[in-house]
Amino acid sequence: MARKPSFLVEALEVVPDPRRPGGNLRHPLVNILVLGFCGVLVGCQDFTEVVEFAEAKRDLWDQFLDLEEGIPSVDTFERVFARLCPAALQAALIDWLKEIRRQALAASTDEPRVVAIDGKTLRRTFDTGAGLAALHLVSAWASAEGLTLGQVAVDKKSNEITAIPKLLELLELRGAVVTIDAAGCQKDIAAQIVARGGDYLLALKGNQPTLHAEVSDFFLRQCERRRPERQVKRIVSTESGHGRSERREIMAAPAPAALTGREDWAGLKSVLLVGRESTAHTTGQTTGDVRCYVSSLPPKARLLARVARAHWGIENGLHWTLDVVFAEDRCRLRTQHGPENWAMLNRVALSLVKGERATKGSLKCKRKRAGWQVEYLLQLLSSGT
């Protein structure tokens, strides 16, 4: 029977096979990759569930894949994903994802294209007996589109500062605003972003103690004045929802000329302070925090405030969802590249489901629907709009 064309199959056929050439390769690599991804998309949490799902939908796969040798075993899935090159899988899946989400990416908007970068640990991927620490990934997330753009694993002997530049090399930064928390507030990272045609908004904390203190003191002096200097723009907003009321105060200003090492920060134009005070309706308890930032964007308070807030999309839209909906923290893969490749499947599946807005329902329900209804699964795989 002639097989139907599939963009996903075509995209994954270019991934190099990590298995020994000439060995007893019963199952084409593309079969393993397609079935693995579709299993994750519909809610499978390990390869045992992937195999069960694949067996249940055998008639569907026969339309697209050469399954002469049947569905691969759990051991086959585990061995292949453990040895599979994460960079090759990532490149193939993200190119495919961008293509089917091209309408969302091309949508005209006056808002800046925010690329949020942050790290996350897969907590159950450690192996104490083997001296293996839990996998820590640095991910890039297009906040407005709900789209994963890439990930890089942090070397066990290093930290996010070395991983972030590698991730930036994978991204198209021209016209984008890159937001990173204090771990990535480094002069070299700022210079790399500007050199690639992007802008940055970097959070300040103790890793840049002098700069943090000087920016904090600058805004403190402005608050102590009866009226801030003219170039300092201030916005106060309040909102209520989710059982709490929140007051936010934003102050933005041109980067002071007297900042120590100002000339070492490529493209530095502005500094930002965001103060937040939240009151719980049930207890009346009030909590708050104050954050400072440096940016290559112009000192426009509303623009900077929107970008700063968009950064938290990676926490709520990606990391929180991966833990709650995808149960990523319960992933127990520990062999070689297995955890990193599974994490990439999770992120692409999440982007795909988030991009489907024609059908009502939670992300959890959409994943279940894709497992129950072949038509809906095919809809997800053919279009993210």
Spatial separation of the C-alpha atoms in residues 7 and 350, rounded to whole Å: 18
Judged against a pLDDT cut of 60, whether residue 124 lies above it is answered with no
Q: What is the pLDDT of residue 263?
A: 93
Encoding tokens for residue 93?
A: 């899946």
Strand order in the sheet with 233-241: 147-153, 135-142, 113-122, 176-180, 199-204, 286-295, 270-280, 244-254, 233-241
**In order of start, what are the domains of the chain with their CATH numbers?**
7-100+341-382 (no CATH), 102-320 (3.90.350)
Distance CA 123, CA 269 (A): 39
Residue 314 has pLDDT above 50, yes or no: yes
Q: Which of 237, 365, 62, 247 is CA-nearest to residue 54?
A: 62
Q: What is the pLDDT of residues 205-264, one digit of tens each?
A: 878 999 999 999 999 998 888 788 888 998 888 888 777 888 888 999 999 999 999 999
Q: What is the pLDDT of residue 98?
A: 85
Who has greater pLDDT, 154 or 79? 79
Give the pLDDT band (50/70/90) at residue 115.
Answer: very high
Q: Which residue has the higher pLDDT, 36 or 279?
A: 36
Residues 136-181: tens digit of each pLDDT:
788 898 888 888 888 888 876 667 788 899 999 989 999 999 999 8
Task: Give this prediction's pTM.
Answer: 0.85
Give 316-334 pLDDT, tens digit per residue: 778 888 888 887 777 767 6
Q: Output the CA torsion sign for 20, 22, 23, 29.
A: positive
Report the 10 Å Cβ neighbour count for 111: 12
Please give the pLDDT value at position 237.
85
125: pLDDT strictly greater than 90 = no
Question: Which among 331, 330, 325, 327 is positioned nearest to 365, based on CA atoms?
Answer: 325
Q: What is the pLDDT of residues 44-58, one digit of tens each?
A: 988 999 999 999 999
CB of 88 closer than 8 Å to CB of 340? no
For the chain, the average pLDDT equals 86
Residues 12, 102: Cα–Cα separation, whole Å: 18
DSSP state at residue 115: E
Structure tokens at 133: 């620490």
